Structure 1
Amino acid sequence: MALATLPRVALAQDDAFDLGTITVSASQTPVETKRTGTVVEVVGQEAIENSTSIRVSDTLDTLPGISLSGNGGLGTSSVLRIRGLSGKYVPVYIDGIDMTDPASTQTQYSFGALTTAGIGSIEVLKGSQSAIYGSEAIGGVINISTLRATEMGTHYRYSVEAGSYDTYAATFGVTTKSEQGELAFTLAHVDTNGFSAAEEDAGNPEADGYTGITLFLTGAYHATETVKLGFALNYLDSETDQDGFRVDNLTAVELATRLGARVFAEIEGGTVDHTLSLAYSKTEREYPVGFNRYFTGERTEVGYKGVTQVGAVDLAFGASYTEEEFAVDTINGTYRTTSIFGEAQYAASENVDLSFALRHDDHSTFGGFTTGRLAANWRITGDTTLRASIGTGFRAPSLYELFHPVYGNPTLEQEESRSAEIGVEHRFANDALVKATVFYTEIDNLIEFSGGGYNQVPGTSTTEGLELSGRVALGATTDLFGSYTYTDAKDATGNQLIRVPKHDFVLGVEADLTDKLSGQLVLNHVAGRADDGGTAMPDYTVVNASMSYDFSETTQGYVRLENLTNEEYQTSFGYGTSDRAIYFGVRASF
């Protein structure tokens, strides 16, 4: 896990209170984060670059309410949970493209191969958000933006890294910006021998390696004073050694490609601004030793959104059409969804903002479903903010859950959810910050794998808990920070959901040791997980550290220390995690 990023993540969240900081995830239109009624965590570029892990999932694992479970090292399946709800409830967007895989067992995104190379910012929106994002968005949404050109002219970036497990990584990027338009390009490569995906202490000595190439390309062009055209492209080509059934398998190599593309036009109208978009994603995987060998998932989405203002009310409205296809060997299926949506954001007073969103989805298999969200933000004083929101959501069973001839179940129905949260944030005179959020989500007809296939759990399953976080200065150059999340996640029968920790505690310190040298030390303690695979999951504590040194204004060296105490632990039963590891790198921009 990359725990040492939390202090810089916390700093990025602090900045979210400043005038002008914008979130693109919380509403249909960008809004200042200090005015949102929903909880959204913002991870900035500095936090991402200084992460103690090369994996994005490890960076996000440091946030309150986020937990991680994985099936080994880089490239293997890695699932993020938001407030106890797994990846099937959390759509993932990269530059506005839905990159969840329709051919996965439960439509979701695997973070295992996504590295921090070329990532500019990440927003994590929590709670049922189907009114904004449609099906699957019951636990929340993760919105990833790649690096963009921020200054006029052409600029270059590069980084190289080497370390434990014979790991080597390199990244090259270029951005250019003019009055007419902008371009941004990143190419990254990583290669590692890795460690055993199956737990080494269980007699699995084989190292499981990974090789991957990632490309990001974005651009925009102002065709006229009122028309902006743009595009985004992301591509991943990877080869991952896997250990199926938690045992070594020398031939278990997964080959995968992942492509996402989007084109759009933004048109400034007299009273209404318009956005037209077309997005496409495709994931292909080949796993020669699995029950099924070939997996292909595709998604095509056409969308329109209009934005206007009526007095103190900002209105957004639109429609979209989405087609999802999956093929697993000779099995295939298709979903089609037509959606209409609207959102009103109302400034009730100088210190009170309200928003109401409504969406109707017409699903080709499950019919119509309407979801809504109401959120409020009250800036009680200049230092204290109160947030509250309620929302509904739904998740249609994945194509795999329905149509697979062995594990599928054609009688499955959609899951439906309701969520609520209320939180308070307060700043003190010494710039210390404390935040607290109470959350609750309930899901009807939860779908779980049991009895050799996917089945509905009749009744209502719930996740509820508390998120606490804070930061305080210990001196002019030293800060103490921490967070604690309590999550009580149960299915309708009262059984605790697996891989969800009841207690997730982070404590750390960060300091500027000199004007050029800085460092941080972070501890993460995870406790109270349910039995996984019939085996009790022990509590664990992981300590990570990092240091960076500025050789010049443009060049920085760094070192990352993962699992400093060499803790033996598992995030998923039977699958290994890294021993003590060290990585050295240099990055520069000019």
Structure 2
Amino acid sequence: MKHLLASASVLALATVPHTALAQDDAFDLGTITVSASQTPVETARTGTVVEVVEKEEIENSSSFTVDDTLDTLPGISLSGNGGLGASSTLRIRGLSNRYIPVYIDGIDMTDPASTQTSYNFGGLTTAGIGRIEVLKGSQSALYGSEAIGGVINITTARATEMGTQLRYAFEAGSYDTYAATFGIATKSERGELAFTFSHIDTNGFSAAEEDAGNPEADGYRGTTLFLTGAYDATDTVTLGFALNYLDSETDQDGFRVDDLTAQEFSTRLGARVYAEIAGDAIDHTVALNYSTTEREYPVGFNQNFKGERTEATYKGITQVGAVELAFGAGYSQEEFAVDTISGTYEIASIFGEAQYAASEDVDVSFALRHDDHSTFGGFTTGRLAANWRVTTDTTLRAAIGTGFRAPSLYELFHPVYGNPTLEQEESRSAEIGVEHRLAMGAEIKATAFYTEIDNLIQFSGGGYNQVPGTSTSQGVELAGRVALAAGTDLFGSYTYTDAEDANGNQLIRVPEHDFVLGVEADLTDRLSGQLVLNHVAGRADDGGSAMADYTVVNVSATYDFSDTTQGYMRLENLTNEEYQTSFGYGTSDRAVYFGVRASF
């Protein structure tokens, strides 16, 4: 039998058109998510909240980087230490990127040598990105350690129809910024291949706040490669691979002041090979993944960093009546080296998930996973999710889950900041939501969420320490869209987040209020545009001091010169707002960028 597998072929099917609100459309039965379960499933039938950003939405947005694109989604906030390439932290429902594994074409790209095993979004642009899924809540039952806040699954661009497609894009703009992208993708009856090359060079702005007397510009230069392929070796066997590579050089201002010699040199590499075998009763997928991140910071207290991860996984899928079963096992090894310090640990895992269609309108899924950690022992995590399509216009969904995060190798073994007595963090999360379609195509969505973490690990007193007790992040996400006129939509979202550690201190840089309001319109049959306003309020920085609220407005426009060629413009920070997402670090002044892209 043939089951849907989370492969290149399924990911291609998953990129069907869907609402420009950059969320899952509970009423579009064609939209597939590959993140919310062990097998691809229609977003209309999931019990968990998953936001989906499609290729067209990515290209037409007023953002150039992946983190800025995601920052407009409900429940997601961003803080950065400067411009492009500088350290950037993305949060889901108040929980930072140390709780959010990031996968690119199925490869876990979080860095074991970073301070808290996280992914730095600072150098990841949208060039070559085909689709992004954001899964929220504790998901260790599916993804193991770190997946307390959610998971981000990024798919690179590939062919969507038979034949060969070439694409290119060129861009120039403020801060002497120049970018170029070239891609080729081909698809046949037996296989597919896709390649993207992109490069960007910018002088940038000062990473340290310019108004504090730091006028030096901090530039960035980065080259990114994506390569994916799949081939039907036989009628029942598909072989595939994925490769991603980033080489970058970033000017940085350490400790929030100008430093003319502070540069970081970084390379990231991810590789994956897999085989899918369709059996009579069970479909099998075996995969081998490898990722490594190397960073050199010549003027730092520590100068050389290297993190490596090797993973091997097996997954089987079978159907038993109305129940689809997925089961499997995995092994991973993580290594880190910081100058002369090094460490390693292994995790062996077994997992299973049952998806049950209780009726035409009700779906239930249950996932269970056991991880055996070489340092911290065994952990068993679970997730129960349900979806009830009450009417054709109303859907209810709910989920509860548990998670854990083992202390990173850096947190444990660093000779100055490390703490070998740290214990694992453990979490529990719950969410309940409703989606409803109104007249004239309008739709609204509301989700209440709650996550608690025991033994939160924070940097305090000159090192990493445990906060005894239970820390919480709770709140509500609201989102909606309404047509103002033919071809013109108003959309928006509001997120309230109350995030505190066990001592009642607000988690740093988490906005209590995050409001997005936007309008997009087809101004003519060739010209379209988008305006997005983002207001952030109620943040605390280190020591509990309040950070200033801010409102940023971004504008974008596209013009179709022909069926294959499009010009575009982005105007960032339209009102020239002076603001900070991280205390002491600068953000862009008003900036404009022009570009052209073509696909043929």
Letter of the 2:355 partner, please give it.
Q
How many Å separate the matches in 2 of 1:522 and 1:399? 40
Per-residue CA deviations over 1:484-509 (Å, capped at 9, x if unaligned) read 00000000000000000000001111
Match 1:206 to one of 216, 224, 230: 216
Mark the runs of 5 or more structure 2 residues left unpaired by the alignment. 1-17
Partner of 1:555: 565
Partner of 2:339: 329
Match 1:362 to one of 372, 375, 378: 372
Partner of 1:310: 320
Does residue 62 (structure 1) correspond to residue 72 (structure 2)? The answer is: yes
Per-residue CA deviations over 1:112-146 (Å, capped at 9, x if unaligned) read 00000000000000000000000000000000000
Does residue 270 (structure 1) correspond to residue 280 (structure 2)? The answer is: yes
Does residue 422 (structure 1) correspond to residue 432 (structure 2)? The answer is: yes
How many Å separate the matches in 1 of 2:425 and 2:384? 20
1:372 aligned counterpart, secondary structure: strand
Give 1:207-286 correspondences, 5 Å limit: 207-286=217-296
Letter of the 1:483 partner, please give it.
S
Aligned-pair distance for 1:17?
Answer: 2.7
Letter of the 1:47 partner, please give it.
E
Match 2:549 to one of 533, 539, 551: 539
Does residue 386 (structure 1) correspond to residue 396 (structure 2)? The answer is: yes
Per-residue CA deviations over 1:34-69 (Å, capped at 9, x if unaligned) read 000000000000111122222110000000000000
Letter of the 2:59 partner, please give it.
E
Partner of 2:110: 100
Match 1:34 to one of 44, 60, 74: 44
How many Å separate the matches in 2 of 1:449 and 1:325? 22
Aligned-pair distance for 1:530?
Answer: 1.2
1:13 aligned counterpart, secondary structure: coil
Partner of 1:445: 455
Match 1:498 to one of 489, 508, 533: 508
Match 1:173 to one of 183, 191, 206: 183
Partner of 1:4: none
Partner of 2:151: 141
Q: How many residues align?
A: 584
Per-residue CA deviations over 1:495-536 (Å, capped at 9, x if unaligned) read 000000000001111111111111111111000001345643
The RMSD of aligned alpha carbons is: 1.1
Question: Contact 1:16–1:42 at 8 Å: present in 2 too?
Answer: no
List structure 1 runs of 4+ shifted beyond 4 angstroms.
Answer: none
Question: Contact 1:532–1:572 at 8 Å: present in 2 too?
Answer: no
Aligned-pair distance for 1:15?
Answer: 4.6
1:474 aligned counterpart, secondary structure: strand
Judged with a 3 Å threshold, the aligned counterparts in structure 2 of structure 1 residues 207 and 535 are, in CA distance, closer, same or farther, namely farther
2:122 aligned counterpart, secondary structure: coil
Question: Contact 2:22–2:73 at 8 Å: present in 1 too?
Answer: no
Judged with a 3 Å threshold, the aligned counterparts in structure 2 of structure 1 residues 171 and 9 are, in CA distance, closer, same or farther, namely farther
Judged with a 3 Å threshold, the aligned counterparts in structure 2 of structure 1 residues 9 and 490 are, in CA distance, closer, same or farther, namely farther
Partner of 1:520: 530
How many Å separate the matches in 2 of 1:9 and 1:287? 43
Partner of 2:586: 576
TM-score when normalising by structure 2: 0.96
Question: Contact 1:533–1:573 at 8 Å: present in 2 too?
Answer: no
Mark the runs of 5 or more structure 1 residues left unpaired by the alignment. 1-7
Match 2:496 to one of 486, 494, 500: 486
Question: Contact 1:9–1:43 at 8 Å: present in 2 too?
Answer: no
How many Å separate the matches in 1 of 2:457 and 2:28? 42
Letter of the 2:556 partner, please give it.
S
Partner of 2:4: none
Aligned-pair distance for 1:11?
Answer: 3.7
How many Å separate the matches in 2 of 1:474 and 1:117? 31
How many Å separate the matches in 1 of 2:565 and 2:97? 37
Match 1:109 to one of 102, 108, 119: 119
Question: Contact 1:16–1:22 at 8 Å: present in 2 too?
Answer: no
Partner of 2:13: none
How many Å separate the matches in 2 of 1:513 and 1:285? 46
Letter of the 1:131 partner, please give it.
A
Partner of 1:121: 131
How many Å separate the matches in 1 of 2:157 and 2:23? 19
How many Å separate the matches in 1 of 2:500 and 2:23? 30
Match 2:82 to one of 65, 72, 78: 72
Aligned-pair distance for 1:12?
Answer: 4.5
Per-residue CA deviations over 1:397-433 (Å, capped at 9, x if unaligned) read 0000000000000000000000000000000121100
How many Å separate the matches in 1 of 2:403 and 2:20? 29
| Seq. identity, % | 84
Partner of 2:174: 164
